[in-house]
Chain A
Amino acid sequence: MSKILLIFAHPSPNRSKINRQLYCVANRLNHVATRDLYELYPNLSIDVDAEHEAILRADVLVFLFPVFWFSAPSLLKEWMDIVLTNGFAYGDGGTALEGKKFMLAVSSGGSAQSYTSEGLHGAEIETYLAPFYQTARYCKMELVEPFISFDGRSLDAEAIQQVIVNFEARLHELGGVTDAC
Chain B
Amino acid sequence: MPVEASFLEGALIYLSAVLIVVPLFKRLGLGAVLGYLVAGMAIGPAGFGFIGDVEATLHFSEFGVVLLMFLIGLELNPKKLWDLRKPIFGLGTMQVAASVLLLTLAGILVGLSPVVALAAAVALAMSSTPVALQSLSDRGQSKSDMGQLTFSVLLFQDIAVIPVLALVPLIGMEAGDSGGGWLGALKVIAVIVLIVGGGRYLLRPVFRYIAATGLREVFTAFSLFLVIGTGLLMQQVGISMALGTFLAGVLLAESEYRRELELNIEPFKGLLLGLFFIAVGMSVDLSLVLEQPFLIAAAVLGLIAIKGVVLYMLGGMAGLMRQERILHAILLVQGGEFAFVLIALTSAAGLVPPELAAFLVVVATFSMLVTPIFLLVYDKILLPVFFKTEEPETDLEAKEDHIIIVGFGRFGQIIGRLLISLKFQVTVVDNDPNHIETLRKFGYKVYYGDGTRFDHLELAGVAKAKLVVLATDDKTALVETTQMLAKHFPHLPVLARAKNRRDLTDLLLAGVKGVRRETFASSLELGELALQELGYSAHQAYRTTQRFRLYDEKMLMASVRYKDDQKSLMEYSKRARGQLERLMGADHDEIYKQDKDW
Contact = CB atoms under 8 A, between A and B. Distances in A.
Task: Tell me the dominant secondary structure on chain A's binding face.
Answer: loop
Sort chain B's interface into a size bin: under 10
A43 B543 CA distance: 10
B373 interface: no
Interface in A47-62: 47
Interface in A34-73: 43, 45, 47
B97 interface: no
B445 interface: no
Contacts of B543: 45
Contacts of A47: 550
B547 interface: yes
A57 B534 CA distance: 39
Interface string A103-129: 000000000000000000000000000
Contacts of B500: none
Contacts of B549: 45
Interface in A118-147: none
A47 B554 CA distance: 11
Contacts of B550: 45, 47
B585 to A, nearest CB: 15
A45 B545 CA distance: 10
A90 B549 CA distance: 28
Contacts of A45: 543, 546-547, 549-550
A45 B549 CA distance: 10
Nearest to A85: B590
Nearest to B550: A47
Nearest to A82: B543
A161 B543 CA distance: 41
A33 to B, nearest CB: 20
Interface in B538-567: 543, 546-547, 549-550
A45 B547 CA distance: 7
Nearest to B543: A45
A54 to B, nearest CB: 15
Contacts of B547: 45
Interface string B158-202: 000000000000000000000000000000000000000000000
Nearest to B579: A49
A47 B583 CA distance: 12
Nearest to A43: B546
A47 B549 CA distance: 11
Nearest to A47: B550
A45 B543 CA distance: 7
Nearest to B590: A85
A19 B549 CA distance: 31
Contacts of B546: 43, 45
A45 B542 CA distance: 9
A47 B547 CA distance: 8
Interface in B513-546: 543, 546
A43 B546 CA distance: 9
Nearest to B542: A45
Which of B543, B549, B550 has most chain A Cβ within 10 Å?
A: B550
A61 B506 CA distance: 40
A181 B549 CA distance: 43
B254 to A, nearest CB: 40
Contacts of A43: 546
Nearest to B549: A45
B536 to A, nearest CB: 15
B539 to A, nearest CB: 11
A114 B550 CA distance: 43
B293 to A, nearest CB: 73
A45 B544 CA distance: 10
B597 to A, nearest CB: 11
Nearest to A45: B546
A43 B542 CA distance: 11
A45 B551 CA distance: 12
A45 B554 CA distance: 14
A128 B568 CA distance: 51
Interface string B449-468: 00000000000000000000
B438 to A, nearest CB: 33
A43 B521 CA distance: 13
Nearest to A48: B547
A79 to B, nearest CB: 14
Interface string B435-455: 000000000000000000000
A92 B547 CA distance: 25
B377 to A, nearest CB: 53
A45 B550 CA distance: 9
Interface string B11-32: 0000000000000000000000
A92 to B, nearest CB: 14
A127 B566 CA distance: 58
A114 to B, nearest CB: 36
A45 to B, nearest CB: 4
B27 to A, nearest CB: 48
A74 B504 CA distance: 34
A82 to B, nearest CB: 9
A57 B543 CA distance: 27
B355 to A, nearest CB: 80
Nearest to B554: A47
Nearest to B546: A45
A105 B79 CA distance: 65
A73 to B, nearest CB: 19
A105 B80 CA distance: 64
A47 B550 CA distance: 7
B20 to A, nearest CB: 58
A87 to B, nearest CB: 11
A81 to B, nearest CB: 11
Interface string A82-97: 0000000000000000
A7 to B, nearest CB: 19
A43 B524 CA distance: 14
Nearest to B545: A45
B288 to A, nearest CB: 74
B304 to A, nearest CB: 61
A116 to B, nearest CB: 40
Interface in A1-48: 43, 45, 47
Interface of A: 43, 45, 47
The 7 closest A-B pairs by CB, nearest first: A45-B546, A47-B550, A43-B546, A45-B550, A45-B543, A45-B547, A45-B549
7 contacts: A43-B546, A45-B543, A45-B546, A45-B547, A45-B549, A45-B550, A47-B550
